[in-house]
Amino acid sequence: MRAGRGVMAVALLALAACGGEDDDDGGPVETCVVAPGDGPVAPTSGPMCQLLSSYRLFSDLPGQVPAAGVEPFDLNTPLFSDYTDKLRFVHVPDGAAMAWQDVDSLEMPVGTILAKTFVYPVDRRDPGQGRNLLETRILVRMTDGWKASAYTYGEDDGDAEIAIAGEFIDASWIHDDGSTRTNRYAVPNVNQCGNCHEEHDEVLGPLGPKAGHWNRVQPGGSENQLAKFVRTGWLNGAPPEAQWPRTAVWNDAGGATLDERARGWMEVNCAHCHNPRGAARTSGLDLTAAQIDPVQFGVCKPPVAAGGGSGGRQFGIVPGLPDESILVYRLESIEGDVKMPELGRNLVHAESVALIREWVTAMPGACATVQ
């Protein structure tokens, strides 16, 4: 699938847990410090670890089998990332717990680790043919806030190294229609993590662990994720279950309305930047699902900061006319200065574009100056 890279020496694996080393020029390289032992562990200050295995998150790292104390989770509607599948995991330190938030991401204690592994199945039609690991992204809650890094795998998937400068991976897979697809998959550098994960006020933090996103059955299980975390003491302060919010599943037409599914998709794929405190607040767009003013989420709203990204179109969304809507134009583009989201996408997500087109087509009303 990709050109392999050698896994770092066994000596470095030990150093990543308890000390430093010399770089090629003879100078010291700072490495993470974690407590000794067998269970999952995170540094509470200092740098991120050089090797993914240092966090001890997996009992079988190539197989992505979580260790005791690590729980898999999933989202009702995930972020699209070039047709990759994602395996998500969370570790909360013993004796600590997450705290409920109605809207924002759950408050997480120092020592929490969030991990997300990106994979391409060999054949999307047949999971039994296996998968190729691309990267695992790690968010660690330290005493001074969250830190993030991506880790990329060697040819044998035996371990993953930190990719501070990012990386490009030439990948291929068999798609749903039986065709061979390719992608020059982009692993973000450490600075790019903040471009998406600084959801509010330029403060780095997690995006996925929100009550509405987590209100679903745990992968591989039968219990609601939130209910399990409440039952096991991992989550405090939750209201009665009947009051839990729930983000719509974007591709489940039987489980939510067209409007709920389209707004839920934009909540996950767009609103981390397009919110009143986000990086794209200058656009004036608020694409959170809670926004009820149509103008605020783009209906008949002239562009403020789109520049050439508007494609000459007059409004973000023109009811009944997806081809006249800037939103649709940008979702259908792969041009660097036009496409949205700006990062994490080289390909067009045809299925979600079809959803947004259907939503715009069904939208009543008209924009006065559009003929």
Contacts of 119 (CB under 8 A, 6+ apart): 84, 85, 86, 87, 131, 132, 133, 134
* pLDDT at residue 277, rounded to an integer: 81
Residue 283 banded pLDDT, cuts 50, 70, 90: confident
Distance between CA atoms of 310 and 312, rounded to whole angstroms?
Answer: 5
- Neighbouring CB atoms inside 10 A of 365's CB total 11
Burial label, 60 (beta-carbon count in 10 A; 0-12, 13-18, 19+): exposed
The identity of residue 189, as a single letter, is N
Averaged pLDDT of the chain:
88
Q: pLDDT tens digit string along 206-246?
A: 878 999 999 999 999 999 999 999 999 999 999 999 999 99
Q: pLDDT tens digit string along 94-112?
A: 999 999 999 889 999 999 9
Q: pLDDT tens digit string along 185-214?
A: 999 887 766 556 555 546 677 878 999 999
Q: pLDDT tens digit string along 120-174?
A: 999 999 999 999 999 999 999 999 999 999 999 988 778 999 999 999 999 999 9
Q: pLDDT tens digit string along 299-342?
A: 999 988 656 778 899 999 999 999 999 999 999 999 988 988 88
Joined together, the tokens standing for residue 102 give 């109605």
Yes or no: say if 88 and 72 are a contact pair by the CB < 8 Å rule.
yes
Within 13 Å of residue 253, how many CA atoms lie on the same side as its CB? Answer: 6
Distance between CA atoms of 147 and 48, rounded to whole angstroms?
Answer: 7
Distance between CA atoms of 254 and 258, rounded to whole angstroms?
Answer: 10
CA distances 196 to 29, 140, 155, 207, 279, Å, are 28, 16, 29, 9, 8
The identity of residue 48, as a single letter, is M
Q: Is 242 helix (H, G, I), strand (E, B) or coil?
A: helix
Predicted TM-score (pTM) of the model is: 0.88
pLDDT of residue 20 exceeding 50, the answer is: no
Residue 30 banded pLDDT, cuts 50, 70, 90: low
Residue-level length of the chain: 371
Yes or no: say if 11 and 162 are a contact pair by the CB < 8 Å rule.
no
Name the packing angle between helices 350-362 and 258-269 (round to 10°): 130
* pLDDT at residue 336, rounded to an integer: 86
**Is the bond preceding residue 341 a cis peptide, omega within 30 degrees?**
yes
Q: pLDDT tens digit string along 356-369?
A: 999 999 999 999 87
